Amino acid sequence: MSGLLSVEAALQRILANVEQTDSEMVILAEAGKRILTQDLSATRTQPPFAASAMDGYAVRAEDVVKCPTMLKLVGESAAGHGFGGSVAAGQCVRIFTGAPVPLGADTIVIQENVHRDHDSVRILKGEIVGRYIRPAGLDFSKGQVLLSAGDSLTSSRISLAAAMNIPTLPVHKKPLVAIIATGDELVLPGQIPADDQIIASNGFGVAELVRRAGGDVLDLGIAGDTLASLQDKFNFAKDADIVVTLGGASVGDHDLVAQALQDKGVELNFWKLAMRPGKPVMFGQSMEGKHRKRFLGLPGNPVSSLVCTEIFLVPLINRMTGQDATAERLDAILDIELSENDQREEYMRATYEKRDGTYFVTPFDNQDSSILTLMARATCLMIRPAFAPASAAGESCQIILL
């Protein structure tokens, strides 16, 4: 393809006809941030009985209309240990927060308004019917649909599922993402590089983004600059849903990823994107039985690979797991001047301050795609459209939070 493909067009191709992953059951403790695959109904009513909202005394409201008055203490109701009898005229029951309200009682007098002497209880101030009582079903009722397919399981939703007495939840399976760094110049952290080698760093950051997006990672290490080495790594990735290569997505003599994939029968789109950083990106698919495997070749520069992961790989994982696919773009205000842009949409590393609810953005001066220190300091990516004219401080822009 001779021209430069837009980021939007590339993303549309990546997300086209993406099947969501199958459903699996997970226990509550492992459900965080997973996506439900079906609606869930409460299996019980909560609370299952009228419960006291305060520590005090369960009484009949008609007995405490005129106060002070004396009542006889006939028992106690605590959480998990309710009072088995009923409250008759002139009687009361000591009650604690969360405990069942005994039969016959219809209001709670808080303990601050009571003086007790053994079994004689002096009520100093009465209460209306229903005061400090949580009725049965105040939160939810049995059979009520409380969680819906597509819901992300936040901490509060997991707690709700537990209260519904549902110990395991149906969620989308995490797609397995195999990550392969490429290049004879790479060695792993902790090893001693030769004079013409560098430390492989991209894969660790990409893997973290994959996990945060809801995928599982299969780290296949470093492939050398030979077809045999690449094919060996691809064979180890046979069970992966997505295979990501880092580096080798260009068309140089040592960029062999495209050839290795074509040898495996992968149908490739090979692009030059109108994007900075991240011009060389590769995408392809293959069918292995009924299973569709996707291949994403990302640039080797550290910043380029991380930015392209945010823009392309994370949305793909999101689509597969039933989440909103694309990164949210927020309106912001530019804090500095910028010169005009060329034909490539730019994702500028930047920091922001939020003042009075508005994001104010300052891109770094140096946007070289090899400078990882600035990527580590960045709190957002500022999106500069292709052919954008020179911009003055105070003009509007859009950002993606990191």
- The mean per-residue pLDDT over the stretch 137-155 comes to 97
| pLDDT in the model for residue 250 | 64
What are the tens digits of pLDDT across the range 207-244?
999 999 999 999 999 999 899 999 999 999 999 999 99
**CATH for the stretch 51-134:** 2.170.190.11
- The mean per-residue pLDDT over the stretch 177-194 comes to 93
pLDDT at 251 over 90: no
Domain boundaries for CATH 3.90.105.10 within the chain: 24-46+148-172
Percent of the chain residues past pLDDT 90, beyond the cut: 85
CATH architecture entry for 24-46+148-172? Alpha-Beta Complex (3.90)
Confidence of residue 133 (pLDDT cuts 50, 70, 90): very high
CA trace torsion 100, 103, 108, 113 (10° rounding): -110
| pLDDT in the model for residue 201 | 92
72 by Cβ neighbours in 10 Å (0-12 / 13-18 / 19+) ranks as exposed
3-state per-residue secondary structure call for the chain? CCCCECHHHHHHHHHCCCCCCCEEEEEHHHCCCCEECCCEECCCCECCCCEECCCEEEECHHHHCCCCEEEEEEEEEECCECCCCECCCCEEEEECCCCECCECCCEEEEHHHEEEECCEEEECCCCCCCCCEECCCCCECCCCEEECCCCECCHHHHHHHHHCCCCEEEEECCCEEEEEEECCCEECCCCCCCCCCEECCHHHHHHHHHHHHCCEEEEEEEECCCHHHHHHHHHHCCCCCEEEEECCCCCCCCCCHHHHHHHCCCEEEEEEECEECCCEEEEEEEEECCEEEEEEEECCCHHHHHHHHHHHHHHHHHHHCCCCCCCCCEEEEECCCECCCCCCEEEEEEEEEEECCEEEEEECCCCCCCCHHHHHHCCEEEEECCCCCCECCCCEEEEEEC
| pLDDT in the model for residue 264 | 87
- The mean per-residue pLDDT over the stretch 59-87 comes to 97
CATH architecture entry for 330-401? Beta Barrel (2.40)
pLDDT at 197 over 50: yes
Question: 7-22+173-320: CATH homologous superfamily?
Answer: MoaB/Mog-like domain (3.40.980.10)
pLDDT at 202 over 50: yes
| pLDDT in the model for residue 1 | 40
Confidence of residue 74 (pLDDT cuts 50, 70, 90): very high
Domain boundaries for CATH 2.170.190.11 within the chain: 51-134
Q: pTM (2 decimals)? A: 0.85
pLDDT at 82 over 90: yes
User: CB of 295 within 8 A of CB of 331?
Assistant: no
| pLDDT in the model for residue 338 | 95
What are the tens digits of pLDDT across the range 173-185?
999 999 999 999 9
pLDDT at 252 over 70: no
190 Cβ contact partners less than 8 Å away, ≥ 6 residues apart: none
Domain boundaries for CATH 2.40.340.10 within the chain: 330-401
